[in-house]
Amino acid sequence: MMIVMKEGATPEQIDAVVKRVESVGAHAHFSEGELVTVIGAIGDREHVANLGLEGAPGVDHVVPILKPYKLSSKQFKKDERTVIEIEGRKIGGPHFMMIAGPCTVESREVLLEAAHVVKDAGAQLLRGGAYKPRTSPYSFQGLGEAGLRLLREAREETGLPIVTELMDVRDLEPVLEVADVIQLGARNMQNYTLLTEVGRAGRPVLLKRGLSATLDELLMAAEYILKEGNENVMLCERGIRTFESAYRYTLDLMAVPVLKELTHLPVVVDPSHAAGRRDLVMPLSLAAAAVGADGIIVEIHPEPETAICDGPQALRADGFADYLRRVEQAAALAGKELSTV
Ligand code: PEP
Ligand code: MN
């Protein structure tokens, strides 16, 4: 339930509404606009409805939010889109963001070389995993804290903000020391303890859609983060499992416009993990940008043949600047511009 206060509602009237919302065990979530205050009553819908807040002093009107997710729902922000700013770079609304880098942090040389390519081409954020969710326990699992230290070095050297994955709450502290955006991977989309802790940490989050998750499940996962007061959540479509076996996953591009209908949160597309093949990354990126994605996260590697992880899908460094220019043109078709610092 969303309670929209009248323009000029007094602090006492607002306080009275909050007290009544809390009296039935619901949580009152504030959203203060330029003119009006909106109070989201998060809790048992029936109990809140029974309060009869329509017509209470200072209340303009009450809007029921019918979806099971509330704070992430489009209704919660009316027509406003969430714009997230990371060290001056923006994503959401008219702002398009390119996030690029190697799958995993494997060495200082590779990371720094990739970071310079990413920066020189004009991308906004550097990605790279220090903790890797691998299908086989015998595969390379990431450099862990040593990888985080290299990411910090890349950040210092290039000034690029860092996106890196957190897999385990026990690693939250060291990850917070370097991550400008915490990535929650597809396999952890429904790790509710992790979602809650990252919500409390307050750092922007890139939440990837689970391999077989519906959009409702993705939005409910985002809700866990938002509910803790962290409003900076980007959703990421990275391919889902279907019966098709000609490629790694099926990139669900329909998810982009449909998510835009359901939520105010920015939507990012990851063509690399969906395709698993370099040759598909450019066409999928152009399509994603043209269909209205707010950003792309893509894997690049200076020498993909030697990459420890996901080499076959990594873009080559020498083609990256051209790739980015073309994606920028496709984003322009959807009315978006690459964010500048
Ligand atoms: C990744 O981004 O490196 C990754 C492992 O992605 P996903 O969780 O989407 O598989
Ligand atoms: Mn990868």
Residues 6+ apart with CB under 8 A from 292: 256, 257, 260, 267, 334, 336
Checking if the pLDDT of 34 tops 90, the result is no
Distance 158 CA to ligand 1 centre (A): 24
From 36, 64, 92, the end of a domain falls on 64
**120 and 208 co-located in one domain:** yes
227 ligand 1 Cβ < 6 A: no
Distance 200 CA to ligand 2 centre (A): 27
Strand 37-42 to strand 233-237: parallel, antiparallel, or no bridges (unpaired)?
A: unpaired
Please state the rounded mean pLDDT for residues 314-339: 97
CB-based contact 291:282 (threshold 8 Å): no
Q: How confident is the model at residue 38 (pLDDT cuts 50, 70, 90)?
A: confident
Q: What is the pLDDT of residues 290-311, one digit of tens each?
A: 999 999 999 999 999 999 999 9
**299 and 170 co-located in one domain:** yes
List Cα–Cα distances, 268 to 13, 17, 73, 167, 308, in angstroms.
Answer: 40, 37, 17, 20, 25
pTM: 0.93
**223 and 285 co-located in one domain:** yes
**189 and 307 co-located in one domain:** yes
In a domain, 172, yes or no: yes
In a domain, 74, yes or no: no
In a domain, 73, yes or no: no
Nearest CA to ligand 1 atom 10: 186
**269 and 303 co-located in one domain:** yes
Which atom of ligand 1 is found nearest the CA of 272? 2
Identify the pLDDT of residue 146: 98
Identify the pLDDT of residue 83: 97
Checking if the pLDDT of 45 tops 90, the result is no
**294 and 159 co-located in one domain:** yes
Distance 43 CA to ligand 1 centre (A): 33
Distance 202 CA to ligand 2 centre (A): 25
CB-based contact 148:177 (threshold 8 Å): yes
Which atom of ligand 1 is found nearest the CA of 127? 2
Lowest average pLDDT, out of 202-206, 311-315, 329-333, 337-341, goes to 337-341
**32 and 90 co-located in one domain:** no
Distance 62 CA to ligand 2 centre (A): 45
Q: Ligand 1, from 166, 211, 270, 298: best to mutate by most atoms within 8 Å of Cβ?
A: 270
**151 and 243 co-located in one domain:** yes
Identify the pLDDT of residue 251: 98
In a domain, 251, yes or no: yes
58 ligand 1 Cβ < 6 A: no
Q: What is the pLDDT of residues 61-117, one digit of tens each?
A: 898 888 889 899 998 887 799 999 999 999 999 999 999 999 999 999 999 999 999
133 ligand 1 Cβ < 6 A: yes
57 ligand 1 Cβ < 6 A: no
**94 and 53 co-located in one domain:** no
Q: Which residue has the tokens 């799958």?
A: 103
**195 and 312 co-located in one domain:** yes
Task: Kindly report the CATH number assigned to the domain that includes residue 104.
Answer: 3.20.20.70
**128 and 259 co-located in one domain:** yes
Identify the pLDDT of residue 279: 98
Structural domain total, the chain: 2
In a domain, 91, yes or no: yes
Checking if the pLDDT of 284 tops 90, the result is yes
Domain span including residue 243: 84-338
Instruction: Look at 165 and 4; give whichever has higher pLDDT.
Output: 165
In a domain, 78, yes or no: no
Q: Which residue has the tokens 């015998």?
A: 138
- Report the distance separating Cα 49 and Cα 216, nearest Å: 23
Task: Kindly report the CATH number assigned to the domain that includes residue 27.
Answer: 3.30.70.1140
In a domain, 75, yes or no: no
- Report the distance separating Cα 186 and Cα 331, nearest Å: 25
**186 and 54 co-located in one domain:** no
In a domain, 287, yes or no: yes
